[in-house]
Amino acid sequence: MHSLLVVAALFVAQTPPPKATPDDARAFVKKLDGDLRKLYVRQSQAEWIKSTYITDDTEQNAAAMNEDLMAYLNQANKAALRFKGLKLDPDTERMLYLLRISSALPAPSDAAKRTELANTAAKLEGLYGKGKSCKAGKPGKDGKHVPSGAEGPTTECRDLQQLSDVLGKIADKKKPASYDQLLEAWTAWHDTSKEMRPLYERLVTLSNEGAKEFGSGDLGELWRSAYDMSPAEFEKETDRLWTQVKPLYDDLHCYVRARLSKKYGADKVSATGGIPAHLLGNMWAQEWANVYPLVEPYQGQASLDVTKKLVDQKYDPQKLVKLGESFFTSMGLDPLPPSFWSRSQFIKPRDRDVVCHASAWDVTYSNDLRIKMCIKVDEEDLITVHHELGHNYYFQNYYTKPVLFQQGANDGFHEAIGDALTLSITPEYLKSLKLLDTLPKDEKGLINFQLKDALEKIAFLPFGRMIDQWRWDVFTGKTKPAEYNKHWWELRLKYQGVVPPAGARTEEFFDPGAKYHIPANVPYMRYFLARILQFQFHRAMCQAAGHTGPLHTCSVYGNKAAGAKLKAMLAMGSSKPWPDALETLTGQRQMDATAILDYFAPLQAWLKEQNKGQQCGW
């Protein structure tokens, strides 16, 4: 047994003292910090290698490191129970709370089940990263085809990026993808996740068992405990925030559906029902920016084609990242360390499988900052780069704290930082970079710009809300394995007004597994909260910068006062409850979606006019 695990076992093996003291608790968390730091670093290094070089060996190595961490957290959580009810200093109390909620995948104490859980998690993420849709090609020398789905010299295989590129061409000016091509690409990717279903079912069973040992009823309840309020209160909070923004989403959905129905015909896009998932320009219909040319309000306005300008100016992936860094440094934050540029993965290697899903890392919890992406030089990845660097700058500002404090005030905060700065990527800012030729000069230009923005930011909100609702229902047992796909599409219709292409998807499929965060077991509510918080952060930074006028006209690029406010919040990490961190930047102690409505007020008024006479909803 690893030496750290021996220490962990001793936490429980020894007879707990009859009366634990606050001094005992302080000594416990000090020891905990040192042990966890070592385990976190080993796990992070193994995960980095696995994600950037997918093989059976790297998957097994990562699984072993995860298993060690799972075992330690299980034992440490049990040992921490003896401090329950003690009056402790705030830092010690906070660390014990963060310990309890620290694992998104809690393992049972049974060693065999723990090993099985670690291996299952590694296999699921590996299946996603290696996922390809293959078709048999020309016959080989023996006249036989290689079976479809098996790679070989006579097969044609496409990965997620290639299939997503097809969906992204829904409105391509030169050669748009046809309805049938869109349907085929969507189906091809979603069919790759079929074999995940039994593995995912087992992951649910084992992680629920671990969550119960951590003191929660199931894994979803443990996740909802991570927000400085009760699980029930948190669920009510997400409902409250969704209720604030739903009217704006409904207006957007109604407008887009009418335009798509006109293009494809009411037989393919119902004028009153859900929108088929393959017709929104994104593999998961979570962001709709690629359909903008099909729904553009006013043609002939200033071009908003930032991608063309990036290509014309010969941006490469590293130059795109440099552009993102320059936004943060303009506000007074430090440059990224030199190691960032030598250790990050910016492009997809040609010689191996990697996880292309964008992510940010501090691999050794000591300012060892990196991003992992397969960057495309386009507007979407310009935004994604800013988002990932937001994580890196959070890491950079709290890495000197105890390791349990090295995280966002809540996980929504971490996702919101970079996105808040993207709201300052205004037409004026883009024109200063020569990524736009002219500025929108009137209301028509403004509506075009805001609609394009809303197709990314507002379209995402219900998707962000429903992913974890599906998992919460799965974890509680409300949704049985025999109804995984059925419930998935019920929630997508309820929240998004989106339906599967070409009719129902049966339980033969496991469509949730086609979205990375399901097989990778990454909680998703953080992304919904981030879309709320980014506007709240933006409004606060604009106020700090002394901005007057409509919120959508504000850019904090180059403003040191806004940067100082942001930096003060980043430096807190998770050392205080999130309302304290929120108050540091915004002066508010409650998450608030009204900043979204402020920002998109011109667009919402316009959408309501356009939708008159339409039967909105589904």
Radius of gyration of the chain (CA): 24
**AA identity, residue 56:** D
CA distances from 302 to 298, 467, 551, 595, 599 (A): 10, 37, 21, 27, 21
Nearest to 511 by CA among 211, 284, 207: 284
Return d(Cα 411, Cα 371) in angstroms, integer. Answer: 18
Return d(Cα 598, Cα 219) in angstroms, integer. Answer: 36
With beta carbons less than 8 A apart as the criterion, state whether 454 and 606 touch: no
Of 388, 391, 414, 538, which residue is the catalytic one?
388
Please state whether 403 falls in left (phi above 0), alpha (psi between -120 and 50) or beta: alpha
With beta carbons less than 8 A apart as the criterion, state whether 99 and 69 touch: no
CA pseudo-torsion sign 232, 235, 241, 245: negative
Return d(Cα 225, Cα 212) in angstroms, integer. Answer: 13
CA distances from 61 to 67, 120, 131, 590 (A): 10, 13, 20, 42
Neighbours of 52 (CB within 10 A): 18
360 forms beta bridges with 371
Structure tokens at 97: 């709370």
Of 2, 357, 487, 517, which residue is the catalytic one?
517
Cα torsion through 549, 554, 560, 564, rounded to 10: 90
With beta carbons less than 8 A apart as the criterion, state whether 450 and 602 touch: yes
Cα torsion through 89, 90, 96, 99, rounded to 10: -150
Whether 443 is a known active-site residue: answer: no
Nearest to 595 by CA among 233, 238, 241, 227: 241
| Chain CA centroid to CA 35, Å | 28
3-state helix, strand, coil in the chain (%, to 5): 60, 5, 35
Whether 517 is a known active-site residue: answer: yes
Cα torsion through 44, 45, 46, 52, rounded to 10: 100
Structure tokens at 438: 């002219």
Q: H-helix or E-strand containing 207?
A: helix 196-213
Place of tokens 């009366």: 19
Return d(Cα 397, Cα 405) in angstroms, integer. Answer: 11
Neighbours of 244 (CB within 10 A): 17
Helix (H, G, I), strand (E, B) or coil at 369: strand
CA pseudo-torsion sign 171, 176, 179, 181: negative
With beta carbons less than 8 A apart as the criterion, state whether 395 and 360 touch: yes
With beta carbons less than 8 A apart as the criterion, state whether 516 and 128 touch: yes
Nearest to 204 by CA among 494, 513, 529: 513
With beta carbons less than 8 A apart as the criterion, state whether 168 and 281 touch: yes
The pairing of strands 369-372 and 498-499 is: unpaired
**Catalytic sites, residue numbers:** 388, 517
